[in-house]
Structure formats: structure tokens, C-alpha cells
Structure 1
Amino acid sequence: MVAFTRSIPQTLAAFGYLNLFNDVGCKLTIFCFRAFRGLSISLTCMLCVYQAVAISPATSRLAPLKISIPKHLQYIIIFLYVLYYSTSVTTALNAVSSLFNNTIPPYTFNLEYCFVVGKEYFVYISMSFGVMCRDLLFILSMIVMSGYILRLLYHHGKKMKNILSSDNSQKGRRAEAKASRAVVTLVILYIVFFGIDNIIWVYSLTISRVALLISDIRDFFATLYTSVCPIVVITTNPKVQRKLKLVKMKKEAQPTESSTHTM
């Protein structure tokens, strides 16, 4: 949805397709992009917290959450949807498809196909920093929980060295190493993409008119961590890998079966 509501219109505008939307279309597109962008961060954070709680030992302070989180999971998801939908309304209402006399007023984000007009500087700055702090809270929570997961995996690996035989221990270490690399990769991607996105965002707040190139670069990184990170989660999932292997084996078996029938 993030790619659909931001990357595709941005690409079409870069190739010269202007006036893609009217005012209503601009408001809806901006609203969906901001809501789904935030949900990609918060839901991934929730997944990370859920995994950390699930593998935490019974003596951990997180142990009581093993029962309460599954019970309230649907309410947590609903809360996140309401949070990001409600906080995306104001920005969407300020979106327009065209400007009077084609003059870009100060504190306006030019997306080429739409414009987000900031009416008052104080409101513009406070809302921008509010959005950044909201997303940063989820990112920091994800970093803390990912570090906790890596710590548990490390201690588990040390215990397995003393319990299992050498061959089984090597297999266990390989599985733990894969899980650790997946967690580290995901966290690094979020830190890098989110960091670059928000550095450009803060810089944009310090100038009255944002250049198109700066806006394009920020949009690129804003869509990266909402599209690349889920791919990392999927490709590092053992269940998905087993499914892909089964599909590959079925495709390889089909020519053999057809040749047998021909003979």
C-alpha cells in the first residue's frame, strides 16, 4: 500500500504525468501513505515485542505478558490503526492538487503531483516533530527488544554447547546464527532507512521551501523500510523457505512425470 500510494504516483510525476489527482484524490493518497507508513513501523515493532515475549524465560519480567498479549492482541492492533488514522487526518486535510497562481507558499511540501501546505509555522513544526517522536518511540522499542532477543539467543547458544553433542551443537549454532543475522539485519535496515528519512525531514523543517530533489530522496527512503523490511522477514522465515522448496520440487517433478507419460 505504501508503494501504491507514494512510489507509483511519484514515479509517474517524475516522467511528466502531472495532475494525477484532484483535491480529494490528493487528500486520500496522502492520508493512506502516512497511515500505512506508520502502521508498517508499529506492526513490525509489535511483532518484535511479541517474539521477545514468546521466547523469554519463565523467570523474566516479560513472562506475565505471554498470557495477556494474546488475549488483547486484536485490541492492540485496532489501537494502532486508530492511532495512525487519527494522526494522519490533519496532514491529509492540508493536501491540495494545485496552488493559486502556481506559487508555492512557504512551508509547503511539494510532491510534484500534490502539495501539503503548512498554514502556521508553529503548528507545522510541532506536528512534524510529534510525528517523528511517535515513530521514533516504536523504533527504539524495536531496537531494545531486538537486542533482548539477541541476548537470549547468545545465552541459549552457550548452554547448548554444554548439553548437545558436537554435531547437534553445530546444527543448533547454525540455526541460532541464522536467527541472529535476521534480527540484526532487520534492525540495521530500520535504523539506516528511518535515520536517513528523518535527517532529511528535520532538514526540511529548517527551510521555507524544500527542493524537489530533497523531497524525492526522502520519499525513496520512506518507502524503502516499509517495502524492504517485510521482504527480509519473509525470506528469513524457515516456514516460507520450506514452502518455496516444495514448490520448486513440484515444478522439477512435473517434466519427469510428463516425459514418463509420453513414453
Structure 2
Amino acid sequence: MATRDLAVGVIILIQTVVGILGNFCLLYHYLLLHFTGCRPRSTDLIVKNLIVANILVLLSVGIHNTMSSFGWYHILSDFGCKFFPYVRGVGRGVSIGTTCLLSVFQAITISPMNSRWAALKGKPPKCIVPSIVLCWVLQILVNIMYPLFMTITLNNKNVTNRKYFGRCSSIRHEKNRDPLYVALLSFPDALFLGLMFWASSSMVFHLYRHKQRVQHILRTNVSSSSPESTATKTILLLVSTFVYFNTLSSIFHIILGIFDYLSWYILNTSVIITLCFPILSPFLLMSRDPRISMVCFAWIRNVKSPHVMRNM
């Protein structure tokens, strides 16, 4: 096993462990909020769906590439080369769709009553579950190409009509078909990114207008402390982080789809970048949610109070 493969395997393993711990910690906090009787937000279901998508990406990419880097690729078999890329594609796609849904929902929520979106302000909560289901169905269907075309690379056979992705490979189609497959896989991403750009621009504009109006009445720091403003800034930060890493990841995915001969550096850099957003997003959400710290302090007080009473 080469030293560079071992180094990449360790990096991916650390990313996977940190990301899974972060997402499960965020999920635990949401369960704690539920059992302590905190009033749920409309966006909580969307965030929980994002957690599930993040875990799918982390497990599929982490397990698959860690085993391959450590030289355990013989355990993967043909099923592993079909299953893990498919789960990664579905999880990544659902993550994009969920982040888009979160940003659009918040943009409609904070829009003023005299805007063109005022008529939609009461409808987004009713559309959350159907939108999530539609996102899952869409990604399950779009990524079906992975189990159809992917297979394990056979070291003892030199097959010329295959494109190699490390230990796995896919059927090499005609040159004029590759852009078609890339477009099919990239169209949902481009659509969601366009909606996120619109929603983010709308949120920034409404926050600026709201700040200008409040400055004429109260001090500036009042507007920044409102729950709507805090939630909007959190989502903007989440979307900005997502767009940055997803743009890099999409560039590498386009390269993987178009070019036949892929270097070791491109393959592994693509994997490491793909794992960045599922790792950072739970910590970003936990650090920006004031309910989590309030519930934690309340839970600590409830745990300590029986001991205090017993000592008295």
C-alpha cells in the first residue's frame, strides 16, 4: 500500500468520524428539544432531512474510499461499487435539494406583506413534506445510472471500453453521450443552485430593507437580535458554505464525467471536497441555534436540582 493512499485514507476516515459525530450530535439536540417541550420551528423537519442526507454521504463516501485507500478493496466486490456511489449520489442530491428548500422557505417567511410572495406566506409549511418526498424520489431516479453502469475494476483483465474511478469503473460510452449524462446529473443541481441564489439575494435584500426601516425608529442592534433575523443569517451562512463547496465538487464531478483518464489527485480531491459540507453544516447549525444552549442549561439545572434538594 502506497504512503499517499494511506494518508488519504486517514484523512477520509477522520472526516467521516467527525462528520458522523457532528450530525448525530445535532440530531440528539433536536430530540432533546422535542422531549423538553420546546416549540418546534417549521424548518426543523427540513434540517432533520439534511442530517439524514449528510449521514448517507458520509457513510457511503467514507466507508467506500477508506476501504479502498487501506487496500481492502477486495471486500467491496461488485455490489460495493454499485451501492456506495448510488447512495452517495442520492444523499448529495437530497442535501442540495434540502438546502435549497430551506433557503426558499426562509425567503418567503421573511418577505414583507406587500411583496409578491405575500400570498405564499401561509403555504410553505404545508409544502414541506411533499417537497422532501419529491426530492427523494427525484434523486433516487436520477442516480439509478450508478448501479446500472458501475462495476469493480478487475486487475487481471485489461478492458479497453471502461472508464476507471480507482477501484471501480464504468462502461465507457460514445463521446457524444458523455455530455448528455453529465447534463442529466447536473440539471437538478443547477436548478437548485439557481433557486438558492434567488432566495439568498431576496433574503439579503429584505434584511437590508428591514435594517433601514428600524434605524429610523430604534437602534440598529434591535433588528439583529430578532429571531427571524438570526434564523435568516444562519441559513445565509449555511447556503454560502454549501454553494462554495458544492461548486468545487460540481466542477470535479463534471471532470469525472467528461474525461476518460483521471489522475489519482483528481479522484481523491473530489472525495475530500464532497465530505466538507456534511462535516461543517451540523456544527454551523448548532453554533447558531440559541434554543440548543437554552435547553442544555435547563437540562443541566434539572439534573442538578434533585442533588441540591437531597443535600438540603
Shorter-chain TM range is 0.7 to 0.9
Residues 160-184 of structure 1 show CA distances to partners (whole Å, capped at 9, x for unaligned) of: 22233x4xx5243355775565344
What's the counterpart of residue 162 of structure 1? 216
- 151-160 vs 223-232, which deviates more? 223-232
What's the counterpart of residue 82 of structure 1? 137
- The runs of at least 4 aligned residues of structure 1 exceeding 6 Å deviation read none
Match of 1:4 among 23, 40, 59: 59
* Letter aligned with residue 221 of structure 2: Q
Q: How many residues align?
A: 256
What's the counterpart of residue 115 of structure 2? 60
Partner Cα distance (2:171, 2:287) in 1: 40
User: Secondary structure of 1:22's partner?
Assistant: helix
Q: Does residue 224 in structure 1 map to residue 279 in structure 2? A: no
* Letter aligned with residue 187 of structure 1: V
What's the counterpart of residue 39 of structure 1? 94
What's the counterpart of residue 149 of structure 1? 203
Q: Matches of residues 191-202 of structure 1 in structure 2 within 5 Å?
A: 191-202=243-254
Match of 1:172 among 223, 228, 242: 223
Partner Cα distance (2:129, 2:57) in 1: 23
Partner Cα distance (1:177, 1:55) in 2: 9
* Letter aligned with residue 208 of structure 1: D
Alpha-carbon contact 2:163-2:171 (below 8 Å) kept? yes
User: Secondary structure of 1:122's partner?
Assistant: coil
Alpha-carbon contact 1:97-1:115 (below 8 Å) kept? yes
Deviation at 1:61, TM superposition (A): 1.3
What's the counterpart of residue 185 of structure 1? 237
Alpha-carbon contact 1:193-1:221 (below 8 Å) kept? yes
Alpha-carbon contact 1:105-1:117 (below 8 Å) kept? no
Alpha-carbon contact 1:106-1:208 (below 8 Å) kept? no
TM-score, with length taken from structure 2: 0.71
Deviation at 1:262, TM superposition (A): 6.6
User: Secondary structure of 1:21's partner?
Assistant: helix
Q: Matches of residues 201-216 of structure 1 in structure 2 within 5 Å?
A: 201-216=253-268
Residues 58-110 of structure 1 show CA distances to partners (whole Å, capped at 9, x for unaligned) of: 22111222233333332222211111100011122111123373436466241
Identity of aligned residues (%): 22
Partner Cα distance (1:187, 1:129) in 2: 23
TM-score, with length taken from structure 1: 0.83
* Letter aligned with residue 215 of structure 1: L
- 210-219 vs 101-110, which deviates more? 101-110
Residues 184-203 of structure 1 show CA distances to partners (whole Å, capped at 9, x for unaligned) of: 42232122211211222333
Deviation at 1:2, TM superposition (A): 0.6
Partner Cα distance (2:162, 2:237) in 1: 36
Change (3 A) 1:34 1:107: same
Q: Does residue 18 in structure 1 map to residue 69 in structure 2? A: no
- 181-190 vs 48-57, which deviates more? 181-190
Change (3 A) 1:204 1:159: same
Change (3 A) 1:100 1:244: same
What's the counterpart of residue 169 of structure 2? 115
* Letter aligned with residue 201 of structure 2: G
Partner Cα distance (1:236, 1:104) in 2: 52
Change (3 A) 1:138 1:68: same
Query: Which ranges in structure 1 are unaligned for 5 or more consecutive residues?
Result: none
Partner Cα distance (1:75, 1:180) in 2: 23
Aligned Cα root-mean-square deviation (Å): 2.8
